Amino acid sequence: MARLLKAVTVCALAGIAHAFNYDQPYRGQYHFSPQKNWMNDPNGLLYHNGTYHLFFQYNPGGIEWGNISWGHATSEDLTHWEEQPVALLARGYGSDVTEMYFSGSAVADVNNTSGFGKDGKTPLVAMYTSYYPVAQTLPSGQTVQEDQQSQSIAYSLDDGLTWTTYDAANPVIPNPPQPYQAQYQNFRDPFVFWHDESHKWVVVTNWKLVSEFGPYNAQGGVWECPGLFKLPLDGGSSTKWVITSGLNPGGPPGTVGSGTQYFVGEFDGTTFTPDADTVYPGNSTANWMDWGPDFYAAAGYNGLSIKDHVHIGWMNNWQYGANIPTYPWRSAMAIPRHLALKTINNKTTLVQQPQEAWSSISSKHPLYSRTYSTFSEGSTNASTTGETFRVDLSFSATSKASTFAIALRASANFTEQTLAGYDFAKQQIFLDRTKSGDVSFDNTFASVYHGPLVPDSTGMVRLSIFVDRSSVEVFGGQGETTLTAQIFPSNDAVHARLVSTGGATEDVRVDVHNITSTWN
């Protein structure tokens, strides 16, 4: 980075009020959402000095996409979030916007390689996509075209509260490399991290093009929101690298809209080489990070050890995201997920576990607990669950039933319900939201979604299901299969029941734990 000549400090002028009521219908009680207005991709995720920083795509002026800025929230435990002033406010906001701040990433430059640090203060450096809605000459003297996307830099010297854009040289990567220069309208979402082995910063959407990857597997839409990180394998000292990539459209089978896939392989500081079994012949399938419709643009935290790696996804879908029936905000983040690699069925597999301070918000003792050596064909009502809870459900894969499920967020007569369960013949988790409540805002919303799950080594199927006011997240097995979907049920849809179809289900255990609000 060149020496700073001129910069503009960008921040919101007013703080976020603390006494805000987060009790609106459909407001997630243990999922982050902004107090008001539009939100999409998480970006710039950084753990620094004991604080988790969550930046996100944000419209400070309305509930629909526009005026894209970087919103900001902080947490000490990935559970209780405090919304902060806008970090990067769209340039010209309030009149004619000349630059929006699209997705990117952030790092703590502890060695001050950027030269932005002053008086011993560690600079936080963000690399993001500048979107220019109009052709113009920039403060750096560079010219950009209408709708051009380029990569720029900003930095903070007060632990992320305020940011200074690097106007002397922005954009630092103005154009896509050859032979892709014609794609300047879709050149975005840089992910930057420090590569210890080569002692250099690496950017996915590269500063200096040194290698390319893909396309492989799912190719139905634009690849965006990339990530590249190292994870331990089987809890030991050996490691592998993982690339994640958003895809819009062209998500998992049965979904319409966006999704996130991943690849496992090796990275030498220059080139990512995928493992042979992570790429499928003829791009016939993909390694989906989540098999549901509402997990996209997943981003990982810089600043954590590889054993503590955490990702957060946008819990929405571009197919209908602008029309979901929430107000005065639109969109929430999925539960933060701890990521690791495990060998499952002789394949290196990404496993995900929900990571929040559960002991502070989840009941120690279940509000409902039952075991059945044999659960006969039919249904049995469980107790009322409230709106926010966790279900731990296990059963034998050798059961004679065709499917076994739990109906969640159901009305008293079960004409309204969401079904989360397992198809024994297909060895698939499923989530059925066809009767989940309000499905009127999009003709693709009332659908059933599936994800593969092989029984564990003991012949059992194990599901952990997290339910909030407007979402269901299913974690199957060791976390090798997840399925996330939004729902918009009635306020009084607080009933549940177990359902076995096509025969009996063996060795059933179900525990339901209450989860309290993190906003209190």
Where does residue 189 rank: exposed (0-12), middle (13-18), buried (19+ CB within 10 A)?
buried
Q: What is the pLDDT of residue 5?
A: 33
Domain ranges in the chain are 41-210, 214-355, 364-514
The topology (CATH level 3) of 41-210 is: Tachylectin-2; Chain A (2.115.10)
Whole-number average pLDDT of the chain = 91
Active site residue 234: no
Q: Between these two residues, 15 and 437, which has the higher pLDDT value?
A: 437
The answer to whether domain 214-355 has CATH 3.40.50.2300 is: no
Q: What is the pLDDT of residue 225?
A: 74
Annotated catalytic residue within 41, 189, 294, 432:
41
Round to whole Å and give the CA distance between 475 and 352: 8
Token output for 48: 């620094």
Q: Does residue 23 carry a pLDDT above 60?
A: yes
Q: What is the pLDDT of residue 219?
A: 59
Q: Which of 131, 124, 104, 110 is nearest to 44 (CA)?
A: 104
Model confidence at 141, pLDDT cuts 50, 70, 90, reads: very high
Per-residue pLDDT of 190-245, as tens digits, reads: 888 888 888 788 886 533 444 454 566 655 556 677 889 999 999 999 999 999 98
Round to whole Å and give the CA distance between 463 and 354: 12
What is the separation of C-alpha 26 from the centre of its chain, rounded to a whole number of angstroms?
A: 19
Q: What is the pLDDT of residue 197?
A: 82
Per-residue pLDDT of 35-82, as tens digits, reads: 999 999 999 999 999 999 999 999 999 999 999 999 999 999 999 999
Under CATH, which architecture does the 364-514 domain have? Sandwich (2.60)
Q: Does residue 105 carry a pLDDT above 70?
A: yes
The mean per-residue pLDDT over the stretch 340-346 comes to 95
Domain 41-210 shares a fold with domain 364-514: no
Strand partners of residue 311 = 300, 337
Q: Which of 2, 38, 214, 35 is nearest to 114 (CA)?
A: 2
Amino acid code (one letter) for 458: T
Share of the chain above pLDDT 70, in %: 92
Q: Three-state DSSP class for 422?
A: strand
Token output for 275: 């493992």
Per-residue pLDDT of 300-310, as tens digits, reads: 999 999 999 99
Per-residue pLDDT of 127-139, as tens digits, reads: 999 999 999 999 9
Kindly report the pTM of this predicted structure. Answer: 0.92
Residues 6+ apart with CB under 8 A from 443: none
Token output for 484: 């996330």
Q: What is the pLDDT of residue 421?
A: 98
